[in-house]
Structure 1
Amino acid sequence: MKDRLQNVNDLLLVCTEILEGNEKEVRDLRFIFNKIKTLNNLASQLMDIKKYYVGESEREDGLLSKPAYQRLCEYVENLKKEANRELSSYVFVIHGHSADISELESTLKLMDKNPIFIKDLDNNNTSFIEKIENYSCVKYAVALLTPDDWGATKESNQLVLRGRARQNVIFELGYFFGKIGRDKTICLVKDGVEIPSDLDGCSNLKYKENMNEILVELKKYLS
């Protein structure tokens, strides 16, 4: 570590090599998320650097001066801001089996958003929950609640089936409530779907036939 810290410019170069990707990597969705993870790790490592390697002035034994350390912190912080600006265009889409998925994808792209669909992510021998974890550091999530399943209560004397969203949609919705907050997780509820009472008071946009009915409201939420 000391050898790498003898010259702050060398360390900045190392950071740049880690964080800058070639053209192919930039087009790869994984790049921005790996970049965020690397930056967060670097920010954490800076605390250790300050504790063990920052001195009043640069010396031959490899200590960083306080001004040099400050420049390094500012450099990493600026990279984090840049990465977060790029990340803000991504929206994780929670969905079931409805054909409305295609319309939602087109709608988000018209808003200059980059929708993330779990079905499009590389397998890489990872489970669904691991995929969600790996791509969940987004600014917004949109949950499409459509009547893909039937459900009924056992307490009723008569079996009354109601349209419900798929179980994975409800699970992923709760995950993003906890991860990024319910104010950043928007529910698009199609007519005919029964939603849990726990979702009352959340950001629910209801529509009957198509996304045009809620286009203005959705754009406000994602702005």
Structure 2
Amino acid sequence: MEKEICKPTCFIKFIIVLLTPDDIGCSKIDGQEQAKPRARQNVILEMGILRSALSRKNVAILRKQNIEILSNVEGILYIPFKNHVGETIPKIIDRLIDSGFTIDAKKAAYALN
């Protein structure tokens, strides 16, 4: 992935990262009793690579509720969802428009139904 993103011919303009509770983790200090749902570590790594390759406004991070947030990235703006990732569509559309994309209103309305 990193090789593709860093190519001069790469035309990626917007990235959507999906954080879902696929793992459970805890610190050594807290122990397993304090284990919390978290995204897979490779997804977190790739999210960092993508954030460094594109500007902050061109990366949308969709976060399922109750997932542990990394301690050193609290300033990141997440788009939360509770039950289904489809809940994020209106905010994704807003983010795409803010990033300079043209969105067809009829198609956007269809996606929301």
TM-score, length basis structure 2? 0.72
- 2:23 maps to 149
- 2:58 maps to 184
Cα-Cα RMSD: 2.1
- 2:100 maps to none
SS at match of 1:142: strand
Aligned length: 96
Considering only CA atoms, is the larger Rg found in Structure 1 or Structure 2? Answer: 1
Tell whether 2:72 aligns with 1:198.
Answer: yes
SS at match of 2:49: helix
Change in CA separation of 1:157 and 1:171 when aligned onto 2, cut-off 3 Å: closer
What pairs up with 1:6-21 in 2 under 5 angstroms? none
Change in CA separation of 1:157 and 1:130 when aligned onto 2, cut-off 3 Å: closer
What pairs up with 1:1-223 in 2 under 5 angstroms? 128-134=1-7, 137-156=11-30, 159-223=33-97
**What is the Cα deviation at residue 171 of structure 1?**
0.8
**What is the Cα deviation at residue 132 of structure 1?**
4.7
Q: Which has a greater percent of helix?
A: 1
- Distance in 1 (alpha carbons) for counterparts of 2:46 and 2:29: 27
**What is the Cα deviation at residue 141 of structure 1?**
0.8
**What is the Cα deviation at residue 180 of structure 1?**
0.8
Question: Would you identify which runs of 4 or more consecutive aligned residues in structure 1 move more than 6 Å?
Answer: none
Moved more, 139-148 or 203-212: 203-212
Quick one: higher RCO (CA 8 Å, sep 6+), 1 or 2? 2
Deviations 1:66-91 (A, max 9, x none): xxxxxxxxxxxxxxxxxxxxxxxxxx
**What is the Cα deviation at residue 131 of structure 1?**
4.2
TM-score, length basis structure 1? 0.39
SS at match of 2:15: strand
- Distance in 2 (alpha carbons) for counterparts of 1:136 and 1:185: 16
SS at match of 2:34: coil
Report the identity percentage: 31
